[in-house]
Structure 1
Amino acid sequence: MRFVPTDEHEALGEAIDEIIAGCGGVDVPRGWANGDTASGRRLWSQLADLGLTGLRVSEDDGGMGGTPQDMVVAFERLGYHAAPGPYIESVAFLPHVVPSDIRAQIAQGVIATTSAAPHAPWAVDAQISDLIYAVGDSWWAEATVGSEEESLSALRRLVVVDPGERTSSDSAAIAFAHDEASLAAAAYLVGAGERLLDEAVSYAGVREQFGRPIGEYQSLKHQLADVRVALSFARPLVHGAAVTLSDHTGPRAVSAAKVAAGVAARRAARTALQVHGAIGYTAEHHLGLWVTQVPALDTAWGTPATHRARIARALRAE
């Protein structure tokens, strides 16, 4: 069993980094948060050309036929750059639920989103999506945009959708899709945590207090080290869950990864905010893109309490 990324995974991550940098880097999520989705749509199109939107779509349906390990590598980089848009819904969830003709459209770069009660009761970014769905325990349906809900993160616009005629679907496939979406969220959180740590370390090296960089103070070093340890423990859980996703230990491993990633990313957000001091609280500083995205994703696709309860049930069953 291999838990570390391969050379191919590293190449995929580097390609995603280069594409996002070429589209404007942090200006992409900043614009999205302010209502300008043009650069975000351009990024989506270029990542689709790379094959990201078809990563979990079979080659027969025009996709890449990638593995869950490929997916977590990609979503970690998306999280590092706070890439906006319904990537979890399009890339990780819907390909396991919808029929082949829709999967083919998603692989080609059509933006799709969905609600998926109970863990994702609202559709993300439905206003800019080409395909909108609602998914239940054993059905899926095309849906229309309803009312907008308040969101913790300006990068995740939440919408109540109204489902149309329902089509029966395999409940086991939908449950698997929920697990894969949870794992994608966990990988995104690890990437976001890494970016927050990088931002904190960088700022601690240049911000001076009493004539010394604040990064030289022991108490701050300990806080940053705690973040490094938390992220270093979370990442193997995410990659391990990707390996076991298809077998009977998969659901418990996904829940463990989601909990650990959320804890690590929240610690990173809290520490980065403290390191940056007053400027970290301002809307003008880009740190807020990750600080608000982390708690929003931590509670999406299953809250920490939900995943902890599932781990407990699995342990009792053994």
Structure 2
Amino acid sequence: MRFTLSPEQRDFAASIDDLLANADTPTVVRAWANGEHEPGLRLWRRLADLGVTALAVPDAHGGLGASAVDLTVAIEALGRHAVPGPVVESIAALPVLLADSGHTKWLAELGSGDRIGTLAWPPHVPYAVDADVADVRVCVADGTLRKFVPGASMSSVDGTRQLSEVAAGDAIGPAQADRSWSYGVLACGAQLLGAGRRLLEMSVDYATQRSQYGNPIGGYQAIKHLLADAVTQLELARPLLYGAAVSLDTGSPSVARDVSAARVACADAAYLTARTALQVHGAIGYTAEHDLSLWLTKVRALRSAWGTQAWHREQVLTALTSERGAA
């Protein structure tokens, strides 16, 4: 099967890129990490004006009812610009969870950007991201949706991800969670792929500008090989990601396998690219003052978000073994 984004989807991605490229996102990210959320919230409102926050909200509740492919396009762009906040939870997983479960109270406000949501889902999402900013706080426990009260806070390797322990509160109702889980995993993969792409771009730019012994370091074979390995992994992960989005849109019986495979590939590719970026940049890449660190730490944090690599690999293996046994 051949797949390519439509002109409308490419234009949508370009409009998000243009907005974020002119928003000085590194400054916004650093402010968020320091507890100054207003610049980031203003950025979320601008993204809402583009329709980003309404993508997964059904049109019956004021959203766009967009496809999983459309959502993946948007989340990949947000990852490329390291947009802070509970991106996966508020824009992807929570709207689908609420809509599928028939609990529509907050959908319109999540879609309009008037509210931001966060979601905990033990054991694979044990902590809530940015519960101090979110005003819709939901957890999934034993097949039930519950409100939760944020407990003790803890830091993440990514300074923009404030994690909170979760104390489950009042029940909202039963949870129809399968599709929402797949959306969360898919969106996490898209965010990782976008961050990996940005790390590659920064590394290529640096390699063409930084000189040693009178020559740009990008001209040396060792650097070329590192960058070639990174771009290869990113390009191999991208079809898996969008293939998983198509599986979600078509209701494929292999969707759980497909989203796990995409998540593994995107996380591996982003992590390899992060390591490559550090090698290319050298010592300056380790400094918090350099913008590279904003993407390095995000990749490191997201690599274990929404299920570990080992868990997702196990899901793929189990699915393939089951399919072979049924053949």
Could you say whether these structures have the same fold, taking a TM-score greater than 0.5 normalized by the shorter chain as the test? Answer: yes
- Return closer, same or farther for 1:49/1:224 CA change in 2, 3 Å cut-off: same
In the other structure, the counterpart of 2:74 is: 74
User: Helix, strand or coil: the match of 1:165?
Assistant: strand
- Any conservation in 2 of the 1:23–1:42 contact (CA below 8 Å)? no
The 1-side partners of 2:123 and 2:3 are apart by 30
Structure 1 segments, 4+ long, off by >6 Å, are none
The 2-side partners of 1:298 and 1:187 are apart by 12
1:105 paired with 2:109, answer yes
* 1:2 positional shift: 5.5
Q: Deviations over 1:11-34 (max 9, x none)?
A: 111111122233323222122222
In the other structure, the counterpart of 1:287 is: 292
The 1-side partners of 2:228 and 2:69 are apart by 27
In the other structure, the counterpart of 2:14 is: 14
User: Helix, strand or coil: the match of 2:42?
Assistant: helix
Q: Which runs of 5+ in 2 are unaligned?
A: none
The 2-side partners of 1:35 and 1:282 are apart by 20
Please show how residues 39-50 of structure 1 align to structure 2 within 5 Å. Answer: 39-50=39-50
In the other structure, the counterpart of 1:93 is: 93
In the other structure, the counterpart of 2:276 is: 271
Q: Sequence identity of aligned pairs in percent?
A: 45
The 1-side partners of 2:171 and 2:37 are apart by 31
Q: Which runs of 5+ in 1 are unaligned?
A: none
Q: Deviations over 1:222-273 (max 9, x none)?
A: 0000001000000000000000122211110101100000110001000001
The 2-side partners of 1:8 and 1:30 are apart by 32
The 1-side partners of 2:82 and 2:258 are apart by 25
Q: TM-score, normalised by structure 2?
A: 0.94
In the other structure, the counterpart of 1:61 is: 61
* 1:315 positional shift: 1.0
Please show how residues 180-191 of structure 1 align to structure 2 within 5 Å. Answer: 180-191=183-194
Please show how residues 241-260 of structure 1 align to structure 2 within 5 Å. Answer: 241-245=244-248, 246-260=251-265
Q: TM-score, normalised by structure 1?
A: 0.96
Aligned length: 316
- Any conservation in 2 of the 1:56–1:95 contact (CA below 8 Å)? yes
Please show how residues 149-298 of structure 1 align to structure 2 within 5 Å. Answer: 149-170=154-175, 173-245=176-248, 246-298=251-303
- Any conservation in 2 of the 1:255–1:311 contact (CA below 8 Å)? yes
- Choose 136-145 or 41-50, whichever is displaced more: 136-145
Letter in 2 for 1:3: F
User: Helix, strand or coil: the match of 2:262?
Assistant: helix
The 1-side partners of 2:147 and 2:76 are apart by 29
- Any conservation in 2 of the 1:53–1:91 contact (CA below 8 Å)? yes
- Return closer, same or farther for 1:203/1:50 CA change in 2, 3 Å cut-off: same
